[in-house]
Structures are given as C-alpha cells and as structure tokens.
Structure 1
Amino acid sequence: MAIRTAIIGFGTGGRVFHAPLIASDPRFEIVAIVTRDPGRASAAAEYASAEVIADPERVLSRNDLDLVVITSPNETHAALARRAIAARIPVVVDKPLGVSSAEARALVDEAEAAGVPLTVFQNRRWDGDFLTLRRQIDDGVLGEVHQFDSAFEWWAPQLTDRWKDTAIPEAGGGILFDLGPHLIDQALQLFGDVVEVHAELDRRRLGARSDDDSFLSLTHESGVRSRLWMSATAPANRPRFRVVGSQAVFTSHGLDPQEPQSIAGRRPLDPGFGVHDDGRTATIAGPHGEHDVPLLAGEHRAFYRVLGGALIGDGALPVNSLDAVRGLEIIETALGR
C-alpha cells in the first residue's frame, strides 16, 4: 500500500522541494495539498491524485493519512506538528522544527511519548557538494581539518511582502532562521558538537525587521572552527565551501543545482537532475599542486527513500529530530537569548 501523504504549504518548500521528491518515490502517494493561494493551487494540479484544500484542519482531521509534511511559515510549524502528533500521524517538519529550542524539544517529547515518528527535512545533507566534501574528509584527503568555511548567499537587495522578509526573529524571521539550520546542521554533521558561538547579525536592507546578512563562528569540541556566512545582500558570492586541513584545502563554488532545476520544471528522476549542467568541479590544493574533484550528484530524494523505509520498520528516520533542537539552541545563543 502507498504511504498516503498530505503536504501543508505549497510555497517554495512544498512546490519546489517536497512534492517533486515525494512523487519520485513510488511508495508514496500525495493525497492532499494545503494552500490558500490560487496560483499555487493551480500548480498543484501536477499531482492529479491530490485534493487541494485551503484549511489545514480539514487535512489533520482525516483518518486515512500515513504522513503529514509541514512546510508552512516557521511560526506555524510547532502548532501543526503538535496537531499531527495528537492525531497519531507521522510527521515531517521543514526546518526549523520550531521558533525556539524549548518549543522544538517539547515536540520531540510529545512525539516520543505518543510513539509517532517525527523527523526534520534537513535536505542539505544530500547536496552534491556536501556529499563530495564529506567523502574527501572521510578518505583523509585533507588530513586533520582545522577550518570549515561555508557560505550560502544571494542577491535580493529589496524586501518583499513574503513572510520570510516580514517576520520578526521571535516568529522565525530572518536569514539566520532561514539558512542557519542548514549551515549549522552541516557543520555539526561533519565535526560534532559546539562549545562556543560568536555571531554578527546585520540588517542591510531598508526597513528590514530581521537579520539579512549574518555570520557565525562555531568552535567545535573537536577543535575545528566553522565559519558560516549567510546573506540575501551579496552582489557576488564567496566559495560555497573552503575547508582547510593539515594536508590540503577543498574549495567548491556555487549552490547545489537541485532547487533551480526543480523551479525550471525538471524532476528528480530526469537525467542529469542533481548535476551541474556546466560540469563544474571542486578543487583540492596543497603544497604539491592542485587537482579537480568531480562533484557527486545531489540527491535530496534520499531523504524520502530513507523515510519510506523507516515508516515500514526498515531502519531509522533520515534525521534525528534532536539534531534540529541542537541547531536551534545554537541559533538562540547567536541571538543572545
């Protein structure tokens, strides 16, 4: 039987990420999509088996669901997830899990007490450049890593009326809440827990209510220093990754291609999905020269492949929700809470 899935929210998260990924796995069936936006409702017609609904309560009161995916504005995540847990429906929550670590931890506790699977969509663990970097580190190519520089930047100098631009930090607004969960999670996955946090959070755009140009420096228990940049106001970008080890330096440029490919209408099972069309590579440089390293294909659909197995009792969930709680604790430290 198919895993009958409802998606709450059909903005970038639902339309560009979750729906195409879920539809690419034959074990899942999208049976409901929640959106109030008429244009997004029209886009949902791509998924013929899905009923398009305006009210999330109509979905959460159904008794025929095997999974709910929550990808609505950040401040709604916890309340909707709590409702799904109460209905005994396994739930995927887009990052961040909540707008505070206390809120997120309470969700984790409720899900555990109810025996309901709860996981968080940390899809950037399956970016092609991150997979490539992880392999190089695991193979010892860089030696002992000392510095991890990671940047996720774009150029959007004018505010919009989207909730990501209008929400205050207490409601999960700002680029630290938007991109920080990804960059922090990647750093924690590679180098372990953090013992010190330094933050520089700036508002560059006229009328900004939340940070839009931010920097974190994390000191890991392992001794590695992670330096994380995130910005909506960068006219040109730093390297996506620059990782300094005792033997070599890894450098890659540009963001993973899966998001723009999906926006352009390509789908996860299409040839070349997850691979840069320009054939770009990463580089390894050291005292004896420099060479190119092919980038592995990105595979965000691996999240749902692992989740599908977990929901039928075959393996663990793709992301431990406590990882997301730890990420929120680091964000709160950066915000001075």
Structure 2
Amino acid sequence: MASSKQFNVGVVGYGMSAKIFHIPFIKATPSLKLHSILQRSPKPGDSAPADYPDLQHHTALDSLLADPALDVVVLCTTPPTHFAFATAALEAGKHVFCEKPFVPTSAEAAQLAALAAQQNKLLCVYQNRRYDADFATVSQLIKDGTLGRVVEFETHFDRYKMEHPTNWKGTVPMEQGGGAVYDLGTHLVDQVYTLFGMPATVYAKFVSQRQGKFYPGSAPDGSAVDPDSLTAHLYYPDTGLTAIVRIGVLSVETQQPRFWIRGSKGSYTKKGLDTQEPQLKSGMTTSDAKFGREGPEWAGKLAILGEGGAVSQRDLPNVEPPPTYAKIYESFARALASGKEEDVPVPASQARDVLKIIEAVQESGKTGREVPISS
C-alpha cells in the first residue's frame, strides 16, 4: 500500500555516482526528498552547496547522521569506506542505500545485513544494471522459455581503454573492492545470479591486457601485474549450464558484444551496452521519451528452432517500455513505506551471495583451480 510519508534522503559523496546515478532518481521519486549532501571539500565548479543551496550540507559524516530529520543515507563513496559508513548509518537509526560494489567481502555483507535486521532498518545495494533494457529482454526470453533450457550464457563488458584508471577503480587493490572484478564484474555476476542463482563451482583467469601478462605474475619491468580483464566460468551442474563472464579493456569493435545465449530451442545475441549511462552523462533527463531506449540498429538477434529443424531468425528489439534505473529507486521507496525487508529490491543477503561468487573467482584466479562456492 502506498504511503503518504516522504522520506528525507542524505547523499554521502558528490562525485559522478551521486550526480549521475542517484540524485536525478531521488528527485524523480515522489516519496523521496533530497534533504542533504555530504561533500568533504566543495570547490568552485564542484560544489554541492552551490548547486543545491536550499539543502542541508555537511563536510563530515557525524554531523549528517546526527540530523534527526534524516531517514535514509545513500552511500556514493569509494568501496573501502562502505562498511564503516554503512555501520555508522545503521547504528544512527538510518536506512541505507549503498553503491556497488557493496563491500569487499561476503563476511562484511553478512555483518551489515545482521546489523540492519537488529536495528530494524532497510539496507539496499545499488545493482542498477538489473534494470537495463537488454537484461530485461534476456530475462523475459528465459522466463518465457523461448530459448528452451539454457546451456550457455555469455555476458560481456568490453571496451577499449588503454589508459589505466586513476580513480578508485584503478587505485584501490582488488582485496579492498577495487579493480575490474568489483567494478564491472559485480554487475555481470549479479545478473547471472539474478537469473540462475548460485553456481556450484567457478573457474577464472585474470589478465592484464594492458601489460600483456596473466595474473598472478609480474610485468616485464618486474612490477606486479594489476589485472584489468577477466574470463570466469560459472558452472550449474543440475542443468548443464555454463555461464561465462568476460571483461576486456582492449576491444576495438564499434559494436561491442554484450550477450550470447544458447538454449535447446534457440539462441540470442546482443551487442552494445545499455543506453542509460551515456544518456545521463550527456544531460538527458529521466523524463525524456528517449531515455532508456536505443536505436533499431542495436536490436538483438533471435534464432529459433522450428518444426523439421528449420531455423527462423529475426531482429528482437528490447522490451517496451524499457525499465530504467528509476525502478530501483521506486522499489526501494515502496520498501521504505512498507518497512519490509522482503520488499527491498536488492537486499544485502543477495549482495552477500554475489560476493561469495566473486571471492571464489578471485581464489580460482590466484590458484588456477576450479573452486566450489561456499554455502
């Protein structure tokens, strides 16, 4: 049941995550009110107080959390800060919406889930790519049985970026939630988990495509290899499914691969990433009729096995209307209104499971072994 209550939201951090992926959707959700922003060091050209003069502004977490009017804290800071900040916010009696990657370890995720339950507060993780239009299309194909029993599910996040990232994605160690496996891999693994649940085992290889070396190992100059790319196989023996997660940084295609799915009745391929991120970065508003929609040249390709073994092939546009990142905020707002953990769109328990898979991927990459997923 809808609630007339409006929840005051405080955003911690004022980088791209806050400006592009959170604030526009908070403002577009009727039962949420953008109430306050924490920016440690505002400066000319990058100042939350200048951009939002009517809000409450803070430079320290303690002062933000001390505000009794604040209901929800949205964490848009770097991964190593998430556990401590989420803990402090929950202990202060605030609901928490945390950017991905959630926390570096499944143990920390479990601790935060337990603390949220103890405090009777909701804790959600921003796995926004569950709301990509292409993923919604894939989900519908699998749910409807169009492809039959899925035997191979290949998901890509490829790009060409020879330059090493200078933000947390390239400076925070993998063990602390940095690098490709947490930045992009979290999205891909979460989508596989959403569709198929926990795999039994994983086998993975990390590589630095920029340096031309596998991980673990050393570069030609003797320095340690920083893995920027990944190929991971997730195995589901009960159905014979292999899910393949691929991340690459030296892919020059103008239409990058996204999905390749093979089933007993059909196959589906898709190129190109979801349009929402570049649209938001370009300044498009969430109310624009084109938001979340792509051109017909990006339609997926569907091949279906017919009677007598004949194969029919056709273009398959994404589902209409496309889901957008507004949906995760709308769902979270409904959960706040109901107060029920089961209404949270991405609960910490699911993020914990995804982290267990990522931990197994890391172990496999380090040891060269196929690694079982812990229960």
TM-score by length of 2: 0.84
2:250 to 220, 227, 233: 233
8 Å CA contact 1:275, 1:298 repeated in 2: no
Query: Of 205, 211, 215, which residue of structure 1 is paired with 2:231?
Result: 215
Determine whether 1:194 maps to 2:199.
yes
Distance in 1 (CA, whole Å) between partners of 2:113 and 2:224 is 32
For the aligned residues, what is the CA RMSD? 2.1
1:2 aligns with 2:6: yes
The one-character-per-residue Cα deviations of 1:29-84 (angstroms, maximum 9, x if unpaired) are 11112223536743675555433433223212221111111121001011000001
Q: Which has the larger radius of gyration?
A: 2
Q: Is the 8 A contact 1:256 1:298 kept in 2?
A: no
1:242/1:249 contact within 8 Å kept? yes
Read off the aligned partner of 2:240 and give its amino acid letter.
G
Taking a change above 3 Å as real, the CA distance of residues 22 and 80 of structure 1, as seen in their structure-2 partners, is same
Match of 1:313 in 2: 338
**Which residue number corresponds to residue 23 of structure 1?**
27
1:29-108 paired onto structure 2 within 5 Å: 29-35=33-39, 36=41, 38=43, 41-42=46-47, 45-47=50-52, 49-108=54-113
Q: Deviations over 1:162-201 (max 9, x none)?
A: 1211111122111001112111111011112110111111
Closer, same or farther: CA 238–263 of 1 in aligned 2, 3 Å: closer
Q: Does the CA contact (< 8 Å) of 1:121 and 1:319 recur in 2?
A: yes
Alignment gaps of 5+ in structure 1:
none
Q: Which residue number in structure 2 is paired with residue 272 of structure 1?
A: 290
Q: How does 1:258-297 map to 2 (within 5 A)?
A: 258-277=276-295, 280-287=298-305, 288-296=311-319, 297=322
8 Å CA contact 1:191, 1:224 repeated in 2: no
Greater CA drift, 164-173 or 276-285: 276-285
Per the TM alignment, residue 205 of structure 1 is displaced from its structure 2 partner at its CA by 3.1
Query: Distance between the aligned counterparts of 1:243 and 1:191, measured in 2?
Result: 13
Q: From the superposition, tell whether residues 80 and 39 of structure 1 become closer, same or farther in structure 2 (CA, over 3 Å).
A: farther
SS in 2 for 1:274: coil
Q: Which amino acid aligns with 2:316?
A: V
For the residues of structure 2 that align with 1:267 and 1:278, how far apart are their CA atoms?
Answer: 21
Are the aligned partners of 1:127 and 1:299 in contact in 2 as well (CA < 8 Å)? yes
Identity %: 31
Letter in 2 for 1:264: S
Q: Distance in 1 between matches of 2:6 and 2:361?
A: 42
Equivalent residue in structure 1 for 2:327, among 297, 302, 311: 302
- Aligned counterparts of 1:34 and 1:163: Cα–Cα separation in 2: 19
Secondary structure of 1:26's partner? coil
Quote how far apart the aligned CAs of 1:100 are.
Answer: 1.0
Cα–Cα, structure 1 residues 114 and 165, in superposed 2: closer, same or farther, change >3 Å?
same
Q: Deviation of residue 277 (structure 1)?
A: 4.3
Change (3 A) 1:216 1:261: same
Q: Deviation of residue 10 (structure 1)?
A: 2.2
Residues 159 and 208, structure 1, Cα contact 8 Å, conserved in 2: no
Distance of aligned partners of 1:125 and 1:76 in 2 relative to their CA distance in 1, 3 Å threshold: same
* Distance in 2 between residues matched to 1:46 and 1:250, nearest whole Å: 44
- Summarize the Cα distance change of 1:199–1:107 in structure 2 as closer, same or farther, 3 Å threshold: same
**Judging changes above 3 Å, is the alpha-carbon distance between structure 1 residues 173 and 210 closer, same or farther for their aligned structure 2 residues?**
farther
Residues 256 and 50 of structure 1, relative CA distance in 2, 3 Å threshold: farther
Residue deviations 1:102-136, cap 9 Å, x none? Answer: 11111111111111111111111110000011111
Distance 1:222 1:160, change over 3 A: same
- Match of residue 350 from structure 2: 323
Give the 3 Å change call, closer, same or farther, for CA 270–69 of structure 1 in structure 2. same
The number of residues matched between the two structures is 337
Q: Distance in 2 between matches of 1:62 and 1:314?
A: 21
Q: 1:49 to 1:195 in 2, by over 3 A?
A: farther
The range that moved more, 12-21 or 251-260, is 12-21
Aligned residues of 1:142 and 1:245 also touching (Cα < 8 A) = yes
SS at the partner of 1:289?
strand
Indicate the larger mover: 312-321 or 68-77: 312-321
Query: 1:95 deviation in Å?
Result: 1.4
Tell me if the contact between 2:98 and 2:126 (Cα under 8 Å) persists in the aligned partners. Answer: yes
Helix, strand or coil at the partner of 2:47? helix
Deviation at 1:238, TM superposition (A): 4.5
Distance 1:311 1:40, change over 3 A: farther
Q: For the residues of structure 2 that align with 1:56 and 1:262, how far apart are their CA atoms?
A: 28
Query: Cα–Cα, structure 1 residues 49 and 257, in superposed 2: closer, same or farther, change >3 Å?
Result: farther
Q: With structure 1 as the length reference, what TM-score do the two structures score? A: 0.93
Q: CA deviation at 1:87?
A: 0.6
Q: Is 1:333–2:337 an aligned residue pair?
A: no
Equivalent position amino acid for 2:149 in 1: E
